[in-house]
C-alpha cells in the first residue's frame, strides 16, 4: 500500500498512462475473448451492459399475469424466478386492444403495433368482398416442407403446410434486425402452432418451424422459407422424440396436496380428451393418441413444452445462433399452455401442473443458453399473447355473475325486424368475431337514389346496434361510424378501435358482459377487452437489461421498440408503441 501511495504521489503522468493502458488492455481482452471464453466472468460482466449476441422472444400462450404469483411457490430458482429476480418486470402490462386472440397477440408483440395497423385482426376473419373466411397465416401459393422435402401435391401435410406471413402488413423486430445487419443476422421462429412461429419471425426470417403431429410427430416448415428442412431439423425429427414423450404419459409432478388451491381433479368444469371417461390424472397418452390426432395429443400436455425446448436448443446449435458478433434472434412460442387452458380452464390442477413443469423446461432452456451462447451474452423477453377467463360454469357455481352467450338466432331476429320496418332483403351477411357484417345489398339500398324517409348508413348501423343490445349477454354494441368518437371517451371502445381494421372488420362490434363466453361449458377461451384477457406477464432479462420493476402501465406494443432500442436498430415500420424508458434509463 505504501508503494502505491508513493507512485500516485510522485508519478501522476506515469499513473495516468498506466491506467489508460490497463483500460485498453481489459477492453481489448474482453473483445477477443467473447467467442473463446463465453462463460468467463470478465466477458460476462462487460456484456451485461452491452448488446446481446442472441435475442430470444418467449411467448407463453394464454398465460395470465396472476399465474406467476399463484404457482410461483412451486417454481425453481432457474426458470421464471431467474429472470424475475435478475431482470426487469413490468407488473401492469396489458394488450391495448381487442380481440385478444393468438394470431393478433403474436403479431402485435413483434410488430410493436396493434391489429388496426399490422392487419392481423383475428385468427380467422371474414373477407366481405370475397365472401370467404381466411386464416391469419394461410398462403395457397406455398407448400409444406418436411423430412422428405416439398409436399408438392398437398397429400402429406395438406393445409398444415400452406403457411406464410403474407397477411402480416408490417415488419417485425426480426425483419429490422435482418436489414440493420445487412441480412447477416439469423432470425428463426419455433412453435407448436404455425401462427406462433410464422408471425413472430416475420417476412425476412431464415425459417419458421411448427409441429405436425398427425402420423409423424415432426416439425415442418413451408416453401416460403426453402425447399428442404435444414439437416439438423431432419436429424431431430428422426430421433423419435414425440414417441418418447407420448410413452411417458402425464401424471402430477408434485404431491396432490400441492394443488389444493385448484379445483378437484374430477369436476364438471373440465373437458376430456376424446375417448376418455373422465379428465383425471394420470393420463395414458398412448391409449388416447389415436383418437386425439396422433402425436398432436402432445400439444395439450407438458410434453409439448419439452419437445419445443429440445427443438429450440437444437436450432441454436444447428444454426450457430449467437456464435459471432452479429446478433441473431430466436422466437419461441409455447402453445401447450393454451391447449390445456381451453380444455381445463385457469383453475384446474392440469393448468398448475403444466406451469410447474414449464418452469423446469425454462430452467433447462436458460442453462442451455448459458452453455451454447454464454452467460451474459443473451437477452430474453417473456410475455403472453392473451390471458383467459374463469370457466363460467365454475364461476356460476360459486355465485359469480358470469354466463354463456351465443348469437344463435340473433341474426334472424334482427333480419325479421328490419324486414318489417324497411322491406325484405339480405341485411346481415356474416356474424363472427363478435361483429356483425351488414350486407352490400343493404348498403346499396341505403345509398340508392330513391327518396323517402330512408335511413343513412350510420343510422342503419345504430339501429342494428340497438337490436343487438337486446341480447342478454351483450353489454355494448358499437357502430363503426361511431367507433372513433366512442374510443375517445370509453376505454373499452378504445381497445376495440385499436383492434379494428377499417374495411376488413365488421360494421357493428359487440362486447359481451365481463366473464361471459361464447364457448362450451367446459374449459375456457379469450378474446375480450377485459383484464382477464389483456393483463399478461412482461419480463426482460440478460445483456442490456437492468434489474428492476415498474408498476406503470405498459402495453404489448411497447416490447418491440424496447428491444429495438437495446439492439440499436430501427423500430418495426408500423410501430405505435414506445420504448419502456424506465427499463432503458
pLDDT digits (tens, 9 = 90+) for 412-430: 999 999 999 999 999 999 9
Instruction: Indicate the domain borders of the chain.
Output: 56-81+98-152+162-397+530-584, 410-512
Strand-pair category, 93-94 with 428-432: unpaired
351 is catalytic: no
Let me know: does 246 contact 303? Beta carbons within 8 Å: yes
In this prediction, residue 394 carries a pLDDT of 98
Contacts of residues 149-155 at CB distance under 8 Å and 24 or more positions apart, as own/partner, are 149/227, 149/228, 150/223, 150/227, 150/228
**What CATH number should be reported for the domain whose range is 56-81+98-152+162-397+530-584?**
3.40.720.10
- Give backbone dihedrals phi and psi of 493, rounded to 5 degrees, phi first: -65, -35
Residue 40 has pLDDT above 50, yes or no: no
In this prediction, residue 408 carries a pLDDT of 87
Q: Residue 531 — pLDDT band, cuts 50, 70, 90?
A: very high
Residue 35 has pLDDT above 50, yes or no: no
pLDDT digits (tens, 9 = 90+) for 349-385: 999 999 999 999 999 999 999 999 999 999 999 999 9
In our burial notation (b when 16+ CB lie closer than 10 A, e otherwise), range 531-543 reads ebbbbbbbbbbbb
Distance, CA of 193 to CA of 307 (rounded, Å): 13
pTM for the model: 0.91
58, three cell numbers? 418467449
pLDDT digits (tens, 9 = 90+) for 85-137: 999 999 999 999 999 999 999 999 999 999 999 999 999 999 999 999 999 99
State the catalytic residue, choosing from 100, 102, 171, 562.
102
Q: Residue 215 — pLDDT band, cuts 50, 70, 90?
A: confident
Contacts of residues 273-280 at CB distance under 8 Å and 24 or more positions apart, as own/partner, are 273/297, 273/300, 273/343, 279/343, 279/344, 279/350
Q: Which CATH architecture has domain 410-512?
A: 2-Layer Sandwich (3.30)
Residue 60 has pLDDT above 70, yes or no: yes
- Give backbone dihedrals phi and psi of 94, rounded to 5 degrees, phi first: -140, 160
438, three cell numbers? 351488414
Do you know the residue count of the chain?
585
Residue of 383, 333, 369, 330 lying closest to 174 (CA atoms) = 330
SS3 437: strand
Residue of 462, 452, 470, 517 lying closest to 486 (CA atoms) = 462
Amino acid at each position: 500500500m505504501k508503494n502505491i501511495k508513493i507512485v500516485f504521489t510522485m508519478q501522476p503522468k506515469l499513473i495516468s498512462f498506466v491506467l489508460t493502458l490497463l483500460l485498453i488492455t481489459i477492453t481489448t481482452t474482453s473483445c477477443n475473448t467473447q467467442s473463446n471464453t463465453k462463460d468467463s466472468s470478465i466477458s460476462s460482466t462487460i456484456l451485461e451492459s452491452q448488446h446481446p449476441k442472441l435475442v430470444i422472444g418467449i411467448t407463453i400462450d394464454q398465460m395470465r399475469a396472476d399465474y406467476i404469483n399463484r404457482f410461483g411457490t412451486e417454481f425453481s430458482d432457474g426458470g421464471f424466478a431467474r429472470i424475475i429476480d435478475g431482470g426487469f418486470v413490468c407488473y401492469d402490462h396489458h394488450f391495448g386492444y381487442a380481440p385478444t386472440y393468438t394470431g393478433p397477440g403474436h403479431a402485435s408483440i413483434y410488430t410493436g403495433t396493434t391489429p388496426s395497423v399490422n392487419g392481423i385482426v383475428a385468427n380467422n376473419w371474414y373477407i366481405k368482398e370475397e365472401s370467404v373466411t381466411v386464416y391469419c397465416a394461410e398462403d395457397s401459393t406455398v407448400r409444406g416442407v418436411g423430412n422428405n422435402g416439398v409436399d408438392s401435391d398437398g397429400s402429406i401435410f395438406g393445409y398444415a403446410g400452406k403457411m406464410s406471413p403474407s397477411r402480416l402488413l408490417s415488419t417485425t423486430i426480426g425483419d429490422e434486425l435482418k436489414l440493420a445487419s445487412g441480412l447477416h443476422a439469423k432470425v428463426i421462429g419455433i412453435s407448436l402452432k404455425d401462427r406462433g412461429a410464422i408471425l413472430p419471425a416475420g417476412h425476412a426470417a431464415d425459417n419458421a418451424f411448427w409441429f405436425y403431429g398427425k402420423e409423424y410427430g415432426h416439425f415442418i416448415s413451408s416453401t416460403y422459407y426453402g425447399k428442404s428442412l435444414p439437416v439438423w431439423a431432419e436429424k431431430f425429427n428422426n430421433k423419435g422424440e414425440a414417441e418418447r414423450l407420448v410413452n411417458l404419459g402425464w401424471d402430477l409432478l408434485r404431491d396432490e396436496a400441492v394443488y389444493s388451491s385448484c379445483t378437484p381433479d374430477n369436476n364438471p368444469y373440465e373437458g376430456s380428451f376424446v375417448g376418455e371417461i373422465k379428465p383425471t390424472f394420470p393420463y395414458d397418452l398412448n391409449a388416447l393418441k389415436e383418437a386425439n390426432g396422433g402425436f398432436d395429443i402432445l400439444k395439450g400436455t407438458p410434453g409439448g413444452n419439452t419437445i419445443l425446448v429440445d427443438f429450440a436448443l437444437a436450432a441454436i446449435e444447428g444454426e450457430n445462433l449467437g456464435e459471432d458478433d452479429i446478433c441473431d434472434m430466436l422466437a419461441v412460442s409455447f402453445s401447450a399452455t393454451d391447449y390445456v387452458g381451453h380444455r381445463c380452464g385457469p383453475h384446474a390442477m392440469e393448468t398448475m401442473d403444466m406451469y410447474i413443469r414449464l418452469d423446469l423446461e425454462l430452467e433447462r432452456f436458460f442453462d442451455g443458453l448459458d452453455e451454447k451462447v454464454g452467460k451474459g451474452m443473451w437477452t430474453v423477453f417473456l410475455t403472453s399473447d392473451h390471458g383467459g377467463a374463469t370457466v363460467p360454469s365454475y364461476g356460476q357455481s360459486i355465485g359469480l355473475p358470469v354466463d354463456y352467450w351465443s348469437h344463435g338466432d340473433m341474426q334472424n331476429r334482427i333480419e325479421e325486424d328490419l324486414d318489417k320496418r324497411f322491406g325484405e332483403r339480405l341485411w346481415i351477411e356474416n356474424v363472427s368475431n363478435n361483429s356483425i357484417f351488414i350486407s352490400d345489398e343493404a348498403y346499396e339500398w341505403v345509398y340508392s337514389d330513391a327518396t323517402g324517409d330512408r335511413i343513412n348508413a350510420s343510422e342503419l348501423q345504430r339501429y342494428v346496434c340497438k337490436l343487438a343490445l337486446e341480447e342478454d349477454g351483450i353489454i355494448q354494441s358499437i357502430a363503426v361510424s361511431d367507433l372513433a368518437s366512442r374510443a375517445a371517451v370509453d376505454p373499452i371502445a378504445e381497445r376495440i378501435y385499436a383492434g379494428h381494421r377499417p374495411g376488413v372488420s365488421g360494421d357493428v362490434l359487440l362486447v359481451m358482459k365481463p366473464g361471459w363466453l361464447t364457448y362450451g361449458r367446459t374449459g375456457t377461451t379469450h378474446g375480450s377487452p377485459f383484464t382477464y384477457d389483456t393483463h399478461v406477464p412482461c419480463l426482460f432479462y440478460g445483456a442490456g437489461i437492468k434489474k428492476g420493476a415498474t408498476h406503470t402501465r405498459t402495453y404489448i406494443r411497447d416490447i418491440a421498440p424496447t428491444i429495438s432500442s437495446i439492439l440499436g436498430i430501427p423500430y418495426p415500420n408500423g410501430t405505435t408503441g414506445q420504448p419502456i424508458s424506465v427499463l432503458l434509463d
